[in-house]
Amino acid sequence: MIELINIAKIYNSLVTPVYALRDINLTIRPGEIFGIVGQSGAGKSTLVRCINLLERPSLGQVWIAGQEITSMKTADLRLIRRQIGMIFQQFNLLAAKTVYENIALPLKFAHYSPSKIQTTLAPLLKLTGLTDKQHAYPAQLSGGQKQRVAIARALASQPKVLLCDEATSALDPQTTQTILQLLKDINQRLGITVVLITHQVDVVKSICDRVALLDQGSILEVADVVSFFTAPKADLTKKFVSLSLKHELPLLLQKRLSTQKKQNSHAVLRIIFKGQAATEPLIAHVMHEMGIHLNILQANIECLKETILGIMVVEVIGDQTPLPQGIDYLTDKGLQVEIMGYVDESIV
Amino acid sequence: MSTNLLFELFLSTGETLYMVFASGLLAMLLGLPLGVLLFSTRQTNLLPMPLLNKSLSLMVNMARSIPFIILMLAIIPITRLLVGTSIGTSAAIVPLSLAAIPFFARMIENNLNQLPSGLIETGLAMGGSTWQLIPAILLTEALPGMVGTLTTTLITLIGYSAMAGAVGGGGLGDLAIRYGYQRFDASIMILTIMILIVLVQGIQHLGDYWAKRLNHH
């Protein structure tokens, strides 16, 4: 649906050119929800604006639904933009226009007749739950309602793609969830490809199919959401993921963890369960049948889209000799086991 | 006070209103597009024309640098060319408009600058063209502010029109100088000042009312 080929955005400064984006190659498939994450200043906003050419890339090509748009004339580009809806962190609604007039604007630009606008908008108002609010002005709405108006407006011209620029970053956690639910609903019901950029990891976890990590203008990693969180490859992804999944040990315990195995030291393991494995009593088996005594230091269950993910940090108490067998057993069963380090005595 | 004088007071008020509203209308008709042009030619994604922007800006600054009373005298040949005479109320409209147009344009540019920066890119993302965005987004959103601009311009013009009166333009300023100052008639002086206060108050009040009504923030 969207293909970015060798995209670079270069700003010329006096001393050296500054790369806001470099060597971006990305394919976003039709119908998927694709997340682009990264710290602030990583280039996320610039990247998403390159998709509808609100920012012109300095190099490279952008393909939308099989059409190369970077070399298009302005008039043709406007037609393409009608197929790409966009919503923003600050909603960007027109304060002087009612909800209805706001949503109707893209259709007015496309020269729809008032009656055609009405028939197009009625189902959209219903989908976004705004039918009652259509005559209100944006100032009378809550943040969540404002973003709904922005979503309805972005969908008015029946686009194939919806770009979300930090769309939930100005909303409280509860409202964020309802907006994400709406986006997911739209994605499933209308088959619209959704690209969302965010620094909120929870957003990615709850709705994205695939994720890309952007750092200093380059894509470090692209993966489906489960692999992204369970088997991150790049160092920064690991950091990003562990921070977000909260399976780093508290600092106090981390300090006592050493990489050196000594006599009588205890191993500390991180065990990650995915899907089916999370429902089997595997830990109980290791403890009872193999004689490995585990002390749970931290445990957490995460939901990644439809996949259940369990993360547990345990300390192996007492006899360490059966440990390799235990790790093999758990790995065989599809769990991820990682030795985080060793501690001299029980760390709790 | 004689009826004759009262009639003259009435006439002068009419002349002042004529000068102010005629030049105000001209300022709006010519200053609005100029203000929009000043704003849009500076925007990289709207109508980027840096050279035109710089020259327009320079012209506006030059026109605004000249004190009104000097501008009025300096352009007498132009006034005579346009109106046929350089004396009288209609002739005063030329320098008044010429002073008000750049003033109005600069204030309109300010009104547009104060709009949230994301609005233009939102309009472009919708597939709107520059000529669709200007009326549908920029002018609509800036309307309450632009009403304020018009109010300020009209009030400034009342002040300028009194200066025009001093050099034969008629109106309340002329009356106040001829009777109040040169003939030491304090009551006329006070009366003209009172009428001017009422005019300014009235315009400000009306402007505030409309700006508030149009504002949906």
DSSP line for A276-331: GGGGS-HHHHHHHHH--EEEEEEEEEEEETTEEEEEEEEEEES--TTHHHHHHHHH
Q: Which pLDDT value is given to residue B124? A: 95
Using the Cβ of B129 and the Cβ atoms of chain A, whether some distance falls under 8 Å is answered with yes
Residue A338: CA count within 13 A, CB half-sphere: 12
Q: Which pLDDT value is given to residue B178? A: 85
Rounded to an integer, the average pLDDT of A66-79 is 93
Rounded to an integer, the average pLDDT of B182-196 is 89
**Under an 8 A CB cutoff, do B126 and A153 touch?**
yes
Residue type for B63, please?
A
pLDDT band at A75 (very low <50, low <70, confident <90, very high): very high
pLDDT band at A347 (very low <50, low <70, confident <90, very high): low
pLDDT band at A55 (very low <50, low <70, confident <90, very high): very high
**Under an 8 A CB cutoff, do A78 and B45 touch?**
no
Using the Cβ of B128 and the Cβ atoms of chain A, whether some distance falls under 8 Å is answered with yes
Average pLDDT of every residue of chain B: 92
C-alpha A17: how far from chain center: 30
> For A86, which residue in chain B has the nearest alpha carbon?
B125
Q: Which pLDDT value is given to residue A346? A: 57
Min Cα distance B49 → chain A (Å) is 16
Query: Of all helices (H) and strands (E), which one includes residue A153?
Result: helix A143-155
Partner-chain residue, chosen from A79, A96, A138, that has the shortest CB–CB distance to B140: A96
CATH of domain B3-214: 1.10.3720.10
A85 within 8 A of A163, measured Cβ to Cβ: yes
Highest mean pLDDT (candidates A255-259, A267-271, B106-110): B106-110
Rounded to an integer, the average pLDDT of B147-172 is 90
What would the pLDDT profile of A312-334 be if each residue is shown by its tens digit? Answer: 888 888 888 888 888 888 888 88
Residue type for B159, please?
G
Rounded to an integer, the average pLDDT of B17-28 is 96
Using the Cβ of A111 and the Cβ atoms of chain B, whether some distance falls under 8 Å is answered with no
Rounded to an integer, the average pLDDT of A197-207 is 87
Q: Domain segments of chain B: what residues?
A: 3-214
Q: Which of A50, A64, A78 to mutate to test the interface with B (most CBs of B within 10 A)?
A: A78
pLDDT band at B1 (very low <50, low <70, confident <90, very high): low
Rounded to two decimals, the ipTM of the complex is 0.86
List of domains in chain A = 2-244 (3.40.50.300), 247-343 (3.30.70.260)
pLDDT band at A282 (very low <50, low <70, confident <90, very high): confident
Chain A residues whose CB is inside 8 A of the B124 CB are: 54, 81
Using the Cβ of A34 and the Cβ atoms of chain B, whether some distance falls under 8 Å is answered with no
Q: Which pLDDT value is given to residue B150? A: 97
A275 within 8 A of A308, measured Cβ to Cβ: yes
